[in-house]
A and B are shown apart, each in its own frame.
Chain A
Amino acid sequence: MSEWVNGGLQDPVYMAQRIAACEREVQKGIIGQREIIRQVMLAMLTGGNVLLEGMPGLGKTRLVSTIGKVFDLSFKRIQFTPDLMPSDVTGTNIIIKNEQGSAFSFERGPIFANLILADEINRATPKTQSALLEAMQEHTVTVGNDSHALEEPFFVLATQNPIENEGTYPLPEAQLDRFMFKILVRFPGREELKGIVALTEGSQEPEITKQMDSRGLMAARALVNQIPIADAVMDYLLDIVMDTHAGNPYIREGASPRAAQALIRAARAKAFLEGRFNVSFQDVKETAFPVLRHRIILNFDAVSEGISEDDVVEKILEENARL
């Protein structure tokens, strides 16, 4: 381990290998869900936040905790409920009495960690949800007149249940846009389920070891940002984002410029994770779904015809297919 800590942090080849090793280590603790793991890894490499949508019991919490272990990151879980207050998330000023007298002191909330699992985020009130906005975007928390910087790297992995909508508060578009990816966690297949049961109900849990620390992760992120993109690939990427706007018969509101930024970063991260130092069409294509699906708002025609966001993205990709 010391070899890259002492000099390999600037070595893209070595760092790419380490990141790939991290992914493999996460896969040891999570059976199946390779696509989910890959996408969360991409978000980690780009500093993006992730919204995981899926039924309860699909291993979302386990995934986050495993990642925390692999990257040696502090991990906090916040269970969002309707009565959760913003201060319960961010922390609050409390009066401390000591020998000098009474004074206000900021008591950090659970958001002060590297990895935050915001479980069932749509059950909290919009006010509390909004408390996450600043943290997710600016990586700071402001309480009273004081702003408190969050520890880097900072990731929010939020989950939401797609079926129990009663008593929930759907995330507003502005907040959804802050999530780099929206990942759909699907029910595992039979073989995967068998593996999950064997893993979790067995006598011995797999040993997850640390593969990289926060410094390494930050260094890898810096390398990812340097990956060059060919003009043709950039055109392809921009065409995809633009096609979510004008003329699309199923979209009411298209993706924001932030979507294009997220798509570039995600494609770069995917290339890096695969040990490549350039972005391919395939990188863009594969990352387009989690980047765009929560950033486009379907119109009535799409809803009435049962067309999903993924269907629309797929159609856009088909129309822009290269070679």
Chain B
Amino acid sequence: MEQREFVKAIRNCRRRLNLAGFLRKLVTALTIGAAAGILFQAASFVIPLYYAGSYAVLALVLALIAAAVTAYVKRTGMEQAALVMDSFGFDERIVTAYGNMDKEGAFVALQRADAMGQLQAHRDKIRITLLPPWKRTGVPAGLLAVLLVLALVPSEMKERAEELHRVREDAKEKVQEIEEVVEALEQLDQAEELTPEQQALLQEMIESLQASQEEYRQLSSDEMMRAAAEKLEYRYENMGSQLAGLAQSLQNGAAVSSVTAESMQALAEKMQEMGSAQLAKGNAGQSGNGGQNGQGGQSGQDGSSGGSGQNGSGGQSAQSGQSGQSGQNGDGGQSGQNGSSGQGDGSGQNGSGRGTGTASTPHDYVSIPNDIADSGNLTGNAVDHDASEYFHAQNGLSWEGTHMSHEAVIGHYEQNAYEGIAAGKYPSGMEEVIKEYFSNFD
């Protein structure tokens, strides 16, 4: 055997040792990674852990990286490889010869020749197994199987984790959206033209939105999400109306910056749009709960201030039920019902009934037909419960029976709402919203 062959034999051994070492570490890493993954998966059965699967995969990947890094850092050197070869009965001949490879001398040459001779004669003794024993490889294989099973088994807690995650993701978006609105309001609040009362109003809006923001941050279920969405939608609509009114009053004012008024108007419209979007989203979540449309009708009342009709712009959204109110004052209100001629020819008081409102109420009273009067909570003329006929009243169709003013109806609702609050019927946090809602009618 020549010196070159001798070194090559050691190098081959080293390569094999490094590979075996890597595989050994890989098995250990897989065992640790799979065990960690099982812990995550097991935890996901007890606590809502949406990322349990990702964590398990991450643990495995980290373990594999650690194995690769460790194998590289602790890779076998030539001298160590020679020592391993010696352990197969060469009595440190190979490592001694390798260590003295560059040295000269009769005795060193003799020793080298002895080592090479021994290696050539007994090379077959050197057996370096690459794969760890099956008992060691079986453990990670078993653990990985367990991990897979745990990952695939469904559980209530996993569903809960998914719901929570979804809610939090949505909430994050909403918080961001609200943040933008709050910033816009804060900018408006800085305007010098605003009176202290107007500034206070804006500040109130900001605080109201921040309350919504905080609420979104603490969401933990779809139910809470829906409730928060309803509140936010109401707040958007309410604020949109208030801002529109405020913008109008600013426009009518003497020394007003057109920039402030326009930006306020734009924000008002944006908030109304957001309220609609919120509503749509909320409805989608609730399979199209018609009750939300009723709220749109309430907004129509806000529209009675006439502000938005006067502005003669926008009105494309469903919330232009407000404009429907404007229609009380003229044919434009009819247009509002149709939702077509948004830029109608303004025969109303303010001259521009518009919008595509679907919740507008053409009457200034509420009809209670005879056939349903006195049933449930309805009061009315329940004489022989005959079917009521409809007829054309001043502002459109009406029904025979009892007629009540809007104020009376709202009064009833308000009374019931306050009784409900006193009885604790509503979710925590909703009381103030309800009170605020009814106070806006005053």
Q: In the complex, what distance in Å separates the CA atom of A277 from the CA atom of B117?
A: 13
B107 touches A282 (CB 8 A): no
B96 touches A229 (CB 8 A): yes
A228 touches B83 (CB 8 A): no
Q: In the complex, what distance in Å separates the CA atom of A322 from the CA atom of B82?
A: 13
Q: Which of B79, B84, B105, B115 contacts A278 (CB 8 A)?
A: B115
Looking at the assembled complex, report how far the CB atom of B96 sits from the nearest CB atom of chain A, in whole angstroms: 4
Complex contacts, A282 vs chain B, CB 8 Å: 91
B92 touches A279 (CB 8 A): yes
Q: In the complex, what distance in Å separates the CA atom of A260 from the CA atom of B86?
A: 24
Q: In the complex, what distance in Å separates the CA atom of A12 from the CA atom of B97?
A: 17
B95 touches A228 (CB 8 A): no
B111 touches A277 (CB 8 A): yes
Q: Among residues 99 to 113 in chain A, which have CB atoms less than 8 Å away from a CB atom of chain B? A: none
B110 within 8 A of A: yes
Instruction: Identify the B interface with A (CB < 8 A).
Output: 79, 83-84, 86-87, 91-93, 95-97, 99-100, 103, 105, 107-108, 110-111, 114-115
The interface bits of chain A over 220-248 (1 if a CB of B lies within 8 angstroms of the residue's CB, else 0) are 00010011111111000000000000000
A228 touches B111 (CB 8 A): yes
Interface size class of A (residues with CB under 8 A): 20 to 34
B114 touches A276 (CB 8 A): yes
Complex contacts, B91 vs chain A, CB 8 Å: 276, 278, 280, 282
Complex contacts, A281 vs chain B, CB 8 Å: 92
Looking at the assembled complex, report how far the CB atom of A278 sits from the nearest CB atom of chain B, in whole angstroms: 4
Q: Among residues 277 to 308 in chain A, which have CB atoms less than 8 Å away from a CB atom of chain B? A: 277-282
Looking at the assembled complex, report how far the CB atom of A119 sits from the nearest CB atom of chain B, in whole angstroms: 37
Looking at the assembled complex, report how far the CB atom of B99 sits from the nearest CB atom of chain A, in whole angstroms: 5
Complex contacts, B92 vs chain A, CB 8 Å: 230, 232-233, 278-281
Known contacts A230-B96, A278-B96; can you find 9 more A-B pairs with CB under 8 A?
A223-B107, A228-B111, A232-B92, A276-B91, A277-B107, A279-B92, A280-B92, A280-B93, A322-B83
A323 within 8 A of B: yes
Q: In the complex, what distance in Å separates the CA atom of A223 from the CA atom of B111?
A: 12
B107 touches A226 (CB 8 A): yes
Using known A-B contacts A232-B92, A232-B95, A282-B91, determine if residue A323 contacts B83 with beta carbons closer than 8 Å. yes
Using known A-B contacts A281-B92, A323-B84, determine if residue A230 contacts B99 with beta carbons closer than 8 Å. yes
Q: Which of B79, B103, B108 contacts A231 (CB 8 A)?
A: B79
B83 touches A12 (CB 8 A): no
Looking at the assembled complex, report how far the CB atom of B125 sits from the nearest CB atom of chain A, in whole angstroms: 15
B107 touches A232 (CB 8 A): no
Q: In the complex, what distance in Å separates the CA atom of A282 from the CA atom of B277?
A: 84
Q: Among residues 205 to 232 in chain A, which have CB atoms less than 8 Å away from a CB atom of chain B? A: 223, 226-232
- Find the residue from A223, A226, A278, A323 having the highest chain B CB count within 10 A: A278
Instruction: Identify the A interface with B (CB < 8 A).
Output: 12-13, 223, 226-233, 276-282, 322-323
Q: Which of A13, A232, A279 contacts B79 (CB 8 A)?
A: A232
A278 touches B93 (CB 8 A): yes
A–B complex contacts, Cβ < 8 Å, 25 sampled: A12-B107, A12-B110, A223-B107, A226-B105, A228-B96, A228-B99, A228-B103, A228-B108, A229-B96, A230-B96, A232-B79, A232-B83, A233-B96, A277-B107, A277-B111, A278-B92, A278-B93, A278-B96, A279-B96, A280-B86, A280-B91, A280-B93, A281-B92, A322-B83, A323-B84
Q: In the complex, what distance in Å separates the CA atom of A280 from the CA atom of B86?
A: 9
- With both beta carbons as reference points, the residue of chain A lying nearest to B98 in the complex is identified as A230
Complex contacts, A223 vs chain B, CB 8 Å: 107
- With both beta carbons as reference points, the residue of chain B lying nearest to A323 in the complex is identified as B87
Complex contacts, B111 vs chain A, CB 8 Å: 227-228, 277-278
- With both beta carbons as reference points, the residue of chain A lying nearest to B95 in the complex is identified as A230
Complex contacts, A12 vs chain B, CB 8 Å: 107, 110
Looking at the assembled complex, report how far the CB atom of B83 sits from the nearest CB atom of chain A, in whole angstroms: 6
Looking at the assembled complex, report how far the CB atom of A224 sits from the nearest CB atom of chain B, in whole angstroms: 10
Complex contacts, A227 vs chain B, CB 8 Å: 107, 111
- With both beta carbons as reference points, the residue of chain B lying nearest to A234 in the complex is identified as B99
Looking at the assembled complex, report how far the CB atom of B90 sits from the nearest CB atom of chain A, in whole angstroms: 9
- Find the residue from A13, A226, A228, A282 having the highest chain B CB count within 10 A: A228
Looking at the assembled complex, report how far the CB atom of B79 sits from the nearest CB atom of chain A, in whole angstroms: 7
Complex contacts, B86 vs chain A, CB 8 Å: 280
- With both beta carbons as reference points, the residue of chain B lying nearest to A271 in the complex is identified as B91
- With both beta carbons as reference points, the residue of chain A lying nearest to B100 in the complex is identified as A228
Q: In the complex, what distance in Å separates the CA atom of A304 from the CA atom of B5?
A: 57
